[in-house]
Structure 1
Amino acid sequence: MKLQQAYVSEAVAIGTWSVIGYKGPGDNTNATGATGGASSKTNNFSYKDTTGYANNTAALDATGKVGFTAHNEAKLNDCTQGDHWTITVKSGSAAGEATFIPSTLNQDCLQLTPNWNQIGK
């Protein structure tokens, strides 16, 4: 999030993982082109950057754009396999400022990452 915020403060736009200098945990697959879609994978999780960027950026607006998704590869306790963790990036209250909104999409998965919803706050 610090890399993304630094990019937002300069470009007033959201950047792809590659343009902000981020590499996810584990084995990385960097998307080719400037539309996003980079990913990484460990034994238990896979992580994705969003697609739909143009020239490595997306407009920063009040609607927001999911900039990070985490997917558990197998059922973990009561948390079913799937995309359960996201971070949405929206425009902040001032120009060049972003708001990061973490979300655990399944409450059974929140116990695995109890501090997830506090990221960026």
Structure 2
Amino acid sequence: MVQILVVEDNPVNMELTVDLLESYGYAVVQAEDGFVALQKLQDEDIDLILLDIQLPKIDGLELLARIKSDDSTRDIPVIALTAHSMRGDDERFISAGCIDYVSKPIDIKGFREKLHFYLGNLN
């Protein structure tokens, strides 16, 4: 089963994202900050990371840099999640190492299609 790590500090956003992912048939691992995410990446077999960019302790871009600099995690695809989208953010996240970008609130249909595009062959 495909396993997705959701890194999200807002409990309401986490619950919505987890509910959506589970309804699509994915297994979900949750992390409320970057330090927890790094630990989960060592403990779990993760196929995709959904990464909130606005995080406490370690911001999303710093966490992304750590993920991409580690041989054991660098090949895991990362999709950025953020509510504060500004012009050019998507290019900034892609150039930092994300494969794609999803703005919050999540467009449910588009979100499912995006996940299927990246994970369809794994499910």
Which structure: larger Rg?
1
Flag the structure with higher strand content.
Answer: 1
- TM-score normalised according to structure 1 size: 0.30
Structure number with greater CO (CA < 8 Å, separation at least 6) is 2
